[in-house]
Each structure stands twice: as structure tokens, then as C-alpha cells.
Structure 1
Amino acid sequence: MRASSARRRAATLAVSTGRPMPGNSGTGVQAPSGGAGLARPCAASVGTTTQATRMSIRMGSEAIARARARQLDAASAGDANYAMTFLSALEARVAELERERKHLLAVIEILKEVSTSLHFIDILQAIARKLGEAFGLDRCSIFLAERGGRSVRLVASYEDPTIRNYVVDLERYPELKRAMQGGETVFIPDAATDPSLKHVKSELLSRRVKSITVVPITWRGVAIGAIFLRTFRDGPTFSDDDVRFVQVVAAITAQALRNAHRYEHLAQRQQETRETMRRMELERVALLSFLRRLLAAFGEREGAWAEGLLPRASADELDRLVGVAMAVIQEEAKGR
């Protein structure tokens, strides 16, 4: 009984572990007498199940490994994309800071030019030159308004500094007319395709003009002039920041023109005052010369100075009046 129980336990253990029973050289498990037909199929089934389980585990491990690899690849791709995005953003920021640096340097140079002269022609020519050099422009001109509002006067030019005081009809330049009459900045990104410039399209194409920008110069809400800028088609793009920079330059130009106007007005008044004083001095000298000659001519007559005929009191009174008159003249000279 005990031997039979031991064999059953051994058979059960062999089935569960897939190992042959002790004392048996076969791969299967031999059942006790009377059960030989059932022992082998049971062992084969258990072995197949174990192998399938192991294969499933191996396949599951490989799937997990592949999924993990895909996650790592996705993470690496995300890191690479982030790095590229960050690098692009950094390059754009560096370019923006470099552009702002150039704008600040240009403003400093313009302020230096403005501070060294009070003649508005020299000031405007310096501003046109600095803007043309800063942006590599095809054209940079500064216009001042004429009375009547139908024309403007070209007073400074980057491409040809010798052109000055050239009267321009606003009807020929609709973009300039819009800026002068509306007091707002006019920006045309592609001049060759703009409907308002179709009458000069061939000229714009032949000169490879890309964009046109007109910034008004305003003082107390009134457009007193304008800065006209034109870029090459193959040249740098004129951005919104560049337009805002030119607006700042226009404000500086308006203030410089105001200071130059005040200086020239004051200089004109001083010149007029000097001319008035010179004319009054000449009139005084002429009057004194006339009186001296008149008295000299009168005194040459015989007995003309017969002062001895006057009473003593009259002579003293005349002397007193002469003294008072001289004192008054001296005091008036001090007050002047």
C-alpha cells in the first residue's frame, strides 16, 4: 500500500516537472499496471504546454523589448526634434538681437550727426546716408512739405547727395501722397504687383525694386515731410521691426528739424536786430554830422555867436540845460 502511494506521488511529480520517473529511462512516465495506455499521452501534452508557455513568455519578452525600443526611439526622436526646435529658436533670437543692435548703433550715429549741426539740410542728408547704409537701400530720400499740399521738396538723397531743393508733384507718387495726406506709414512689400504703381511697373521691374516704405515726419499731428525708402529685389527683406525703427528715426528727424528751425529763426532775428542797430547808428551819425555842419556854417557868419549880448542868467540856464541833456544821453546809452 505504501509502495503504491509512493509510486503515485513519484508519477505526479514527474508529470508536473516534465522529468522521467526514477528508475525509468524513457522520456515519458510509465503508469502502474493496468494504466499503461494513459501515461504517455499525458506526459506529451504537459511537455507541449510547457514549451508553448515558454515560447509565449519568450515572445512576450521580445514584444516588450520591441515596444521599449520603440519608446526609446520615439523619445530620442522627440529629444532630437526638441533640440532642433530649440536651436532654430535660439538662432532666430540671436538674429533678432543682432538686428536690434544694428538699429541702436544706427540711432546713436544719427544722434551724433544731429547734435553736430543745426542746419537742417546737413541733418537730413546725414540721416538719409545712415539709413541707406544700414539697410543697403536702392533709394532713400527725405521730402519736406510745400505750402498748398500739392507738392513736396526733395531736400536729401542717399543715392545722389547733389540733388537738393527739387520740387516733386505728389500726383506722380501716390504712395508718398498717401503718407503725407494721411499721416500714416505706407508699406508696399511687392511694388511690382501693387495696383497703385501699375503706371511705373516697367520701371520698377527694370530697377529690380522689391519693397517701398514711406514714413511721414510729423510734428504736432501734422505731416511736415516724409522718409522714402526703396529696397532691391535681391536685397534683404524689410521687416516690421525695420519699419518701426524708421518711425523712430522719423520722430528724431522731426525734433531735429524743429530745433534747426528755432535756431535759424533765432539767428535770423539776431541778424535783423544787428542790421536794425547798424541802421540806427548810421542815422545818428548822419544827424550829428548834419547838425555839426549846419552849426559850423552858421557860426562862420559875422556876429553869429554874439553870446555876450545874452544876460548872465540866460547863459547859466543854457549851460544847465546842456548838462542835463548830456546826462540823459549817457543814461540812455547805458540802458541800451
Structure 2
Amino acid sequence: MQNKELEKKLNELGSLKEPFLFVISYDLKKFYVKELSKIPKGIKFEINTNISSKIKHKTKIEKYPISFKKYEKKFDFLQEQIKMGNTYLSNLTARTKIKTEYSLDEIYEKVNAKFKLRFKNENENFVCFSPERFIEIKKNKISTYPMKGTIDASIANAQAKILGDIKEMAEHTMVVDLLRNDLAIVSSKVRVDKFRYIDKINAGDKKLLQVSSKISGHLEDNWNENIGTILTSLLPAGSITGTPKKKTIEIIEEIEEYDREFYTGIFGIFDGKNLDSSVMIRFIQEDENAQKYYKSGGGITCDSSVKDEYQELLDKIYLPF
């Protein structure tokens, strides 16, 4: 996907070495780019924050999800697409109506997450608290950190089980291969620095183990002049689409039956020297009637279990207080 207006604006600010915030929707159709010195009060963010692994208390959310029967129909459609060779990995997501005692502002202040964004203007009202980095650029090195594979940390031998799971291994390997190819579009000397390591994530009333990898490449000295070109070439993120990317995006648009909008897009900052960014997962949106919706999902492969995937969609609806 391309958006020439977005690409041009990012390239211009990068060329000036002007620090700025960028927030880009999943399909690149919506975006917000603003100099850090001009950020309005309705927008707050934290990038790469040190987080506590302690769970302070249980936080209840009432969930009104898509029915299992309806989810199963979508799952079966994806399995048919996999059998036909149209996709090997598809990230299936859904929008879940929720009720919570906390406002979006309170959630932003209380939530314990590596990347946080509170975004409110005349058109958008959402909060995001993501554990997943998209890309990081320091000096001339670009790195990405795909997350794929989650397990409840309280399960006996959880780390060994998730790392030894054949389905999870295949899914993660496909995403790493996809993102390695993506980085090769914008950089040279691409390599996988770390493959399938464990991150511990605070998930409200429990802890999760998340499997991640690190992939890096080399950029030219003037990379700041091409920030827009780099980002639009890599988007949407491979970890929340699938492989092959182009065809899988078409399949996702056909089957999900809702607009992801900013969910699974990215946000980040360029500070004048370095760039850091996050994939917008763990995402709550509020409509004009003050109804909140939590968007979540997971990757589907030929080895996936429909019951397990449906449960993962529900498990990812939480507040990490």
C-alpha cells in the first residue's frame, strides 16, 4: 500500500531533522503527523517505557464478542484459502464490544505497557497500549521485532511448550521470513539477530509469555530524508497481516467485515536523530455514543485449532494495570 501525501510529509520533516510524532492507520488512508513542539493536549504518548511485571489488582472487563459460530465460519474460510495456496498465515481480528468502569484517559494513565498512545481529536478517540515494537532506527541500523506466539505463563512448563509447539514455530518462522524480506526492500545486509526469544507481558489478571525475534538491516547515511519511503514500503506490518502479504490483505478485507482503521496501524516518533515505533495492538476505541470496542485477534495457519484461536482472541482483551 502507498500514500504519496503521507510519504512526502514524512520525508520533508525527516530531511529537516524536525522531531515529530506519526500515527498511521492500518490501510494508510488515515494518518496524523505533527511536530513534537505542536502536539495538542488530546494526544499523549510514551515510547519504549520500562514496565513493571507486577500485577496490582484484577481489572474486570465485560466482553460481548463475536459468537463462536460466526468466528468458526471465518476460520473455515481461511482454512480453505490456505488449502488453495492463497495464504499460509492470516491474522484474523474482530471488534468486541466491552464495558469497563474506566475512561480512556484513566486507562492510559493506569496501564502498564512498553508503548502507549492516547489519541483524541474531532474524528478519532482511542487508546493503545502495545507490547510490540514495529521498527527502530538508531544511527544507520534498522531493526524490527515481530511478536508471534502467546501462552499463559501459569501453564506448567509454559516456555518449553510454546517454543516446542510445531504450529507456533511455523507461524513465527513465516512472519520472520516475511519481515526479513520486507527489510530487504529498504535496507542491505539484512540478518536475523535473535530468533524466538521470550518476552514476559503483564496481561491484567495474569501474565503471558510472548515469542519474539529481532531482524536488522543497514541504511544509508541520509535515511532521515527517506523516512516516509521506508515506512510506506514496510506497511502494513507483516505480523498483523500474514504471508504472502498482498493476497492475505485482500483475504482479510473480505472476511473480517469491519474496518480496522488505526488498529494494527503504527505510531512512533522521530527525535531528530533516531526513530522508534510500535504496532497498534491492545487497542480500545470509543464511538460518539461512548461505547467502547476492543479490537483483537491472532494468526491462523493450517495447524491452527479454531477453539484455541477463538480463546486467544478473548484472552487478548485485557487491561494491564
TM-score, length basis structure 2:
0.22
Q: Which has the higher helix share?
A: 1
TM-score, length basis structure 1:
0.21
Q: Larger relative contact order (C-alpha < 8 A, sep ≥ 6)?
A: 2
Q: Which has the higher strand share?
A: 2
Larger Rg: 1
